[in-house]
Amino acid sequence: MTAITFNGVTKSFAKHPGRLLLRDRIAHLLKPDRKERFFALKNVSFRVEKGEGLAVVGPNGAGKSTLLSLVAGLARPDSGTVSSNGRIAALLELGSGFHPDLTGTENVRVNAALLGLSRKKTNDLFDSIVEFSGIADFINEPLRTYSSGMVMRLAFSVAINSDPDILLIDEVLAVGDQAFQTKCFDKLRQCRREGKSLLCVSHAAGMVQELADHAIWLDHGELMLAGSLRDVVAAYEGSRIDASLRP
């Protein structure tokens, strides 16, 4: 079964998203100009089979995050189709929905709901979420007293414990200290063994090495290469070395 299918997907944004005030809207009505568009993805197709791990590599601005937003259903493609099977947990920006004035406990509960956990599931999983985060001592303190590493730990714990079928991860593995990172990787590997699909994005190819079997390489919205992780990463890194050697 296919977990994620991208079929000829193109996504563009208006280059000047400035026209947000009434004045600009009226001016635009009176004198329409041709909108210049920025293409974040150009005719991209790929599939992720169930239980497969796919890494998306590419430089900044290649369209990696846009791709994840499309999979998560946050944005819609201009053309082409995006489809997915199964419950998705999108770890796009850890702690979206966290609020500094709420305590760790309160934030965990709100975030669990946002990630699609039921009330009962949240209660059942609460202890394991807190335990995984390793900050049980501070869980009843307001979030603003946490260090940024602690916030990330808590956010990652909620997301990873929400038991999704498909995990979307956007550069979020730079979480916490070395010990916690190792813990996160172990947990992600365990998810893979349990047959969960994974789509992760990174501009540092080394990070994804152990989590994915296949990879696609994006550059300026175009699919440069798709194949086994080793081949794609080698080609991508090779191109970067070429670029840096060029005068």
Note the residues at the interface with other proteins (CB under 8 A). Answer: 13-14, 17, 20-22, 25, 69, 72-76, 88, 90, 92-93, 96-97, 99, 101-102, 106, 109-110, 113-116, 118-119, 122
Smaller CB distance to other proteins: residue 80 or 97?
A: 97
In the complex, the smallest distance separating the C-beta of residue 244 from other proteins, rounded to whole angstroms, is: 33
Query: Does residue 73 come out as left (phi exceeding 0), alpha (psi in the -120 to 50 range) or beta?
Result: left
Three-class DSSP category at 12: strand
**Distance, CA of 204 to CA of 121 (rounded, Å):** 35
Smaller CB distance to other proteins: residue 122 or 133?
A: 122
Relative to beta strand 222-228, strand 214-219 is antiparallel
Query: Does residue 221 come out as left (phi exceeding 0), alpha (psi in the -120 to 50 range) or beta?
Result: left
Comparing CA positions, the residue from 67, 68, 96, 70 lying closest to residue 159 is 96
**Distance, CA of 209 to CA of 228 (rounded, Å):** 11
| Ramachandran angles phi, psi of 232, nearest 5° | -65, -45
In the complex, the smallest distance separating the C-beta of residue 247 from other proteins, rounded to whole angstroms, is: 39
For the residues of 146-179, what is the DSSP string, one character each?
Answer: S-HHHHHHHHHHHHHTT--SEEEEESTT--SSHH
Residue with structure tokens 């949240």? 122
